[in-house]
Structure 1
């Protein structure tokens, strides 16, 4: 069996047993350095990463094919890529870079399979007179229009 296909199957079997975890990214370098990035509905623990690593390593023969394996959780610096990741972050502030290069910041309110809904809060000039008014609006954004989505970290 082809090396990459075997890794994908082993990882797939592990994730079938652990329905609370899901794959964010699987990368193979030319030197067969494998990077697995996982996320979970309740987060990812060190033990989850160890279990995933063992599920792959214990079923591969390094004498037959030499490789390095790194299993990690999706960090806050990693962009959101799947509806499941967005769902996990409902209620958090997101910074979006759109495909047309505009930037949008708002609170993630709803998620479905085709789009997200953000609550946008901003100030705009009054229509009559001087000064500004606070505005709160919901904006639906299809995934196809999102180039990059990051969770905003506030202290």
Structure 2
């Protein structure tokens, strides 16, 4: 079976030299290879095709057949690596925690340990009659979340 490491080794140098980064490499049963790449400016389809050709030239279908898919992460897909978080700082995200809590807010910071978001929420302060808009800061470790997705709004 073809390994994730072998595919990563084939593409890493070209991807990094061209200003892109690897989001995920998965080899499923039956040698179904799925590769996700990204960049700060997105990924043109032509680049996915060129990467696909590089992999096809580097592997021998005679010894081991495979199915190949090279793409950029789709809209609404969960974030997988730190660079994706850094790319969308200042944008709205939705977090699903490991204990099932959903929180939406603006991604304000991210590093190798986790990320922070600011949630705007109407809260009724004690002793007052009306709710007030408050900004609540939430800090998360990556292991404490099940998924994080960018919220896409159409205007």
Q: 1:140 is matched with which residue?
A: 139
Displacement of 1:58 in angstroms is 1.6
Determine the C-alpha separation between the residues in 1 that align with 2:20 and 2:74. 14
TM-score, normalization by structure 1: 0.89
Mark the runs of 5 or more structure 2 residues left unpaired by the alignment.
none
Mark the runs of 5 or more structure 1 residues left unpaired by the alignment.
none
Determine the C-alpha separation between the residues in 1 that align with 2:6 and 2:137. 45
Displacement of 1:61 in angstroms is 2.2
Determine the C-alpha separation between the residues in 1 that align with 2:2 and 2:75. 31
Q: 2:103 is matched with which residue?
A: 104
Displacement of 1:96 in angstroms is 0.3
Q: 2:38 is matched with which residue?
A: 39
Determine the C-alpha separation between the residues in 1 that align with 2:54 and 2:141. 36
- Where 1:86 maps in the other structure, the secondary structure is helix
Displacement of 1:83 in angstroms is 1.0
Number of aligned positions between the proteins: 153
8 A Cα contact 1:31 1:67, kept in partner = yes
Q: Which runs of 4+ in 1 moved over 3 A?
A: none
CA-atom RMSD in angstroms: 1.7
Determine the C-alpha separation between the residues in 2 that align with 1:16 and 1:154. 31
